[in-house]
Chains A and B, each alone.
Chain A
Amino acid sequence: MSESTSKPVLSIQDLVVEFKTEAGLIRALDGVSFDVQEGEALGIVGESGCGKSVTALSILKLIPSPPGRIAGGSIKLDDIDVVNQPDDEMRKVRGSLASMIFQEPMTALNPVFTIGNQMVEIIRVHQKVSKAEAKRQAIEMLRTVNIESPEQRIDQYPHELSGGMRQRVMIAMALSCSPKLLIADEPTTALDVTVQAQVMEEINRLQREMNMGLILITHDLGVIAESCTRVVVMYCGKIIEMAETEELFRNPRHPYTRGLLDSIPRIREKKLETLPIIEGMVPDLANLPKGCRFADRCPKAEDHCRESEPPLEDTESGGKVACFIPN
């Protein structure tokens, strides 16, 4: 919490999100709290289903309802109380104050409209400008994300662009109204490896240039290492560890984090060894164990781990961890 002097652009307190399913009511998020400062890049990691995307969607109040619902806690986006904000007020926030990039550039754009049409629409949602002006801005934005000959591209349909190009378009759309917070939900997962780096670089560059807060959601710790200053590790709807990136990589406190780090293949090592994996399965959110949610898979778990849940507590290195027996 080094930049504690600057105002957080996002502050989440005790967020609880519930979903109604056939198996009953499940808590997708259970008491999640964190801040994002202006110009800060925060990474969220975790296995699929751990609540990363739900967190992202909650920030923009995009949880599909029903079946989902924000059951408790608060989200403050630049002083706006997201949870109690009426929907059409919230609409003004989306895309302008906080914006989002999605995983699948293939499907995230509407196939039956040109990208220009979709960009112009978004610009005009937030700014009272003419169509021509909006189009000019859109072209400008495309140029900013390094798309060549944007004047031609703008009249093309999504399917006429390559995957990387589409993701750049997404970025351009997301940033077209200069948001203070950008949420990138697995922005490179669906892309070719060669393109991944370029796109990530683009995001980082723009984040710095525009001094935005950035939430980078990914399961790829390598990406986090390169782009983020701070990391949140989630497991089964809870934050289990939160730390400065360097600190986390150097000294993971939670056994789960450790497991995650161990499962990254290290290219430098000459010989290929069998990668350690985290044994067992993620528990069913509908049937959570009584104690620590990770206990069943934890190599160090002791009896009391199965009795009660460890709280998220500060560590001496300025991070937080939820474990009775941290490293």
Chain B
Amino acid sequence: MSEENISTGRDSLWSKSRRKLMRDRAGVAAMIVVGVYGLIAILVYLGLIGENWSTLGEEGFGGMSSEHWFGTNINGQDIFSRAIQGIKTAFEVGLVVAVTATAIGGILGAIAGYFHRTIIDEVIMWLYGCIDAIPFYLFVAAVAFSLKGTELQPWGMHIAMIATFWSSTCRIVRGEVIKIRGLEYIQAAKAVGVGPLTIVRRHVMPNTTHILLVQSTIAFVGAIKSEVILTFLGLGVVDGVSWGTMLSESTSDVLRGHFGNFLGASGFLFVLVIAFNMFADALQDALDPKKVSS
């Protein structure tokens, strides 16, 4: 999907979208916030900041201070550092799930749409129909369990989310591809003997990119939010810290009157998710050629 593959007509659509996005002030602000988070995630990943998240303090449940901005937890660990660590975890979960799920959904959706009304389409539709019929959390629990004892165990949560998140992308891409497939120029390309793979690559893929982009932002947010719940249920992040582990800890903290974990984790989570949601909205507006400002 490099630039060369995209015709000049599309190219102008892309640059138009970019211009549209840049004009959306809320969208730009959201993008900056997401960018800052991403930067922090990289710094944490490189071990440059937030490294003292595991150091025990002398006394537990310290209040807010210049040293500990959000106070300390039961183990006297610095909650701010842990919240920062949580950014890294969130990006890791979000990126892995979003990229993989959208890729799988996009590919399967394109295949299903292209082979519309064949057995391949039926099988793919059947597959996501089945996944949709199983309650999400039970499915995740089941996936997590079936991976117990294998090398994939630490990735159980990711795999479970990917296994459920691809279906919505697949459904949308399939619909779009069915529409594109009916278009005249594709029919023409087919008539002159262009192979199906070339058609998918040259015509179908570029026309569904905006869907994939938007879907991956949705999956990113979905993954981050699901992580919190899954960790609370004991199915999520095992090693390290995540906002999910912090919120889980906070359930008993708040009854003792300590709100550091809760405020730290939920503050960081809320800002990231709302920024990402706004960014996704702006992206959707910018990429939708039909949409005029409401």
Contacts and interface: CB of A to CB of B under 8 A. Distances in A.
* Interface SS majority for chain B: loop
A20 B20 CA distance: 16
Nearest to B19: A22
Residues of B in contact with A, size category: under 10
A159 B293 CA distance: 32
B284 to A, nearest CB: 15
A130 B101 CA distance: 59
Nearest to A23: B293
Contacts of B292: 21-22
Nearest to B24: A22
Contacts of B20: 22
Contacts of A67: 293-294
Interface residues of A, number: 4
Q: Which of A20, A21, A22, A67 has the most CB of B within 10 A?
A: A22
9 contacts: A20-B293, A21-B292, A21-B293, A22-B20, A22-B23, A22-B292, A22-B293, A67-B293, A67-B294
Given A21-B292, A67-B294, 6 more contacts: A21-B293, A22-B20, A22-B23, A22-B292, A22-B293, A67-B293
Interface string B209-235: 000000000000000000000000000
Nearest to B293: A22
Interface in A13-28: 20-22
A-B pairs, 9 with minimum CB distance? A22-B293, A21-B293, A21-B292, A22-B23, A22-B292, A67-B293, A22-B20, A20-B293, A67-B294
Contacts of A22: 20, 23, 292-293
A25 to B, nearest CB: 12
Interface of B: 20, 23, 292-294
B89 to A, nearest CB: 38
A22 B293 CA distance: 6
Interface in A49-68: 67
A67 B293 CA distance: 9
A137 to B, nearest CB: 39
Interface string A1-45: 000000000000000000011100000000000000000000000
Contacts of A21: 292-293
A169 B294 CA distance: 32
Contacts of B293: 20-22, 67
A20 B294 CA distance: 9
A178 to B, nearest CB: 37
A22 B292 CA distance: 8
Nearest to B285: A22
B22 to A, nearest CB: 12
A43 to B, nearest CB: 29
A22 B25 CA distance: 12
B138 to A, nearest CB: 37
B12 to A, nearest CB: 16
Interface string A275-301: 000000000000000000000000000
Contacts of B23: 22
A67 B292 CA distance: 10
Interface in A162-215: none
A70 B11 CA distance: 37
A67 B294 CA distance: 7
A67 B23 CA distance: 18
Contacts of B294: 67
A91 B262 CA distance: 53
A21 to B, nearest CB: 6
Contacts of A20: 293
A21 B292 CA distance: 8
A67 B20 CA distance: 18
B264 to A, nearest CB: 39
A38 to B, nearest CB: 39
A20 B292 CA distance: 11
A198 B272 CA distance: 62
B76 to A, nearest CB: 54
A41 B20 CA distance: 44
Nearest to A67: B293
A20 to B, nearest CB: 8
A130 B294 CA distance: 40
Nearest to A66: B294
A63 to B, nearest CB: 15
Q: Which of B20, B23, B292, B294 has the most CB of A within 10 A?
A: B292
Interface in A64-110: 67
B234 to A, nearest CB: 48
A23 to B, nearest CB: 9
Interface string A235-246: 000000000000
Nearest to A22: B293
A69 B292 CA distance: 17
Most interface-central of B20, B23, B293, B294 (chain A CB within 10 A): B293
B106 to A, nearest CB: 29
A307 to B, nearest CB: 32
A65 to B, nearest CB: 12
